[in-house]
Structure 1
Amino acid sequence: MQERSRTPMGSLTDAWVESGKHFSNSVEHFYSSMMAANRAMFPGLSNGDDRQPPVSPEVSYSKADWTFEHADETDDADGVVSVGDTIRFSKTLTEREIREFADASGDTNRLHLDDDFAERTRFGRRIVHGTLVSGLISAALARLPGLTIYLSQDLQFLGPVDIGETVTAICEVVEDLGDGRYRLTTVVEDEDGETVIDGEAIVLIDDAPEDALED
């Protein structure tokens, strides 16, 4: 396998953890970035050109090359979220998506867009925007039963993701806080199973509007 980094992983991890500390408390920035990530992940959604039918429970659209799994530890058949439930969502982050995300979010850092510039950085090559990678967490949470609404998200960035790499978000319900609120662990892994993002989210889950889903 081709070497993935030109610098020791320890140095990369320290840098990404430090940046994650500054990021974790910026909920407003996280929400705006998630909206930009969703626009990048669904470039043709408004035209319906390649979208697939909504996945169960018919809240989120999908695409044929995306992978989604929902493990329900309590074997509930009524779509109720329970402690122990786990959602896994995988997709490949392409060159096109990196450039569309840069345009949608305004994050045109040359580390993500300019090969010559990126080769001179600690990473030695272009890498995916960290916020775009974390967008897979939002994609996974959107596939919980019901309508998922973010209340908070803490993140630490532990390593870079290469352009063209397939990454997987893994979200597990670890606590029922009552009144439809849940705490979840939120992890993103790279193709080698290494954790590149680690964090925790609190979400509110409402019933999906059935009348709207019938349209």
Structure 2
Amino acid sequence: MNGEESTAGIETVPYNMADAWVRATGHLVKSAVEVNRAALAAYGVSDTDRTSGGPSVAYARPEWELTRESDEPGVLSVGDRITFSKTFSDEDVGAFADISGDTNRLHLEDEFAEKSRFGTRIAHGTLVSGLISAALARLPGLTIYLSQDLSFLAPAYIGDRLTATIEVIDDLEDNKYILSTDVHDDSETQLIKGEAVVLIDPVPESDDE
């Protein structure tokens, strides 16, 4: 899905072209610290993020969508299900390339990507799988990743609106759970199939509580 393999017959272009393009987008996200500050200043906690029935540990934007199906709000049980949706923009892809260092030209250069098997630029696979982490952040409690298995089944195209769906499939006790972790696009094509193990800690109390 990340298109890391080389494609025969493609004219070699100096790498610094892609590197220069990514540097030009550096104003989008200067550092992880600025990302955090921007989240604190601009996101705010939305009502939809309180569907867990407890303190929210995640910020939200109006264009994001969140749903939760649970028998008992605030308590995690087998069968509980959360979906998280957002659209992946060109700015998202450029910012991720800048932060991660993954400046694969398949994600950044139109002319290069047109000659690939995909025929156009695609989003980074790791960026798309980040939707799963976004959904996990909306579980009741403080979610800690213990493991994640993923299979990439289809590419995500820039501009696609994608939905991550997580469902609790087993309770391992001691606040550990196994979850299915899937990502689909708006046409219901499955892009990612996976399974995660998480640990759920209590949400730390804030200073003003």
Please give the range of the TM-score, normalised by the shorter of the 2 chains.
Answer: 0.7 to 0.9
2:96 partner amino acid: F
SS of the residue corresponding to residue 166 of structure 2 reads: strand
Match of 1:161 in 2: 156
CA distance in 1, matches of 2:85, 2:186: 10
SS of the residue corresponding to residue 211 of structure 1 reads: coil
Residue ranges of structure 2 left out of the alignment (5+ in a row):
5-29
2:45 partner amino acid: P
After TM superposition, what 4+ stretches of structure 1 lie above 2 angstroms from structure 2?
A: 16-19, 39-45, 47-50, 54-57
Task: Select between 47-56 and 103-112 the one with higher mean Cα deviation.
Answer: 47-56
Match of 1:11 in 2: none
Match of 1:76 in 2: 72
Give CA deviations for 1:23-46 in whole Å, capped at 9, x if unaligned.
xxxxxxxxxxxxxxxx99997541
What value does the CA root-mean-square deviation take over the aligned residues?
2.4
Match of 2:44 in 1: 52
Q: Tell me, yes or no, if structure 1 residue 189 matches structure 2 residue 162.
A: no
Q: Tell me, yes or no, if structure 1 residue 172 matches structure 2 residue 167.
A: yes
SS of the residue corresponding to residue 53 of structure 1 reads: coil
1:69 partner amino acid: T
Task: Select between 56-65 and 154-163 the one with higher mean Cα deviation.
Answer: 56-65
CA distance in 1, matches of 2:183, 2:34: 22
Deviation (angstroms), 1:167:
0.1
TM-score by length of structure 2 reads 0.78
Change (3 A) 1:154 1:17: farther
1:177 partner amino acid: L
Change (3 A) 1:101 1:204: same
CA distance in 1, matches of 2:109, 2:34: 22
Change (3 A) 1:171 1:58: same
TM-score by length of structure 1 reads 0.76
Which structure is richer in relative contact order (CA contacts within 8 A, separation 6 or more)? Answer: 1
1:121 to 116, 124, 139: 116
CA contact (8 A) 1:17 1:156 kept: no
Deviation (angstroms), 1:80:
1.1
Match of 2:138 in 1: 143
CA contact (8 A) 1:45 1:51 kept: no
Percent of aligned pairs with the same amino acid: 51
SS of the residue corresponding to residue 59 of structure 2 reads: strand
Change (3 A) 1:104 1:66: same
Match of 1:62 in 2: 60
Match of 2:9 in 1: none
Residue ranges of structure 1 left out of the alignment (5+ in a row):
1-15, 20-38
Deviation (angstroms), 1:102:
0.1
Larger radius of gyration: 2
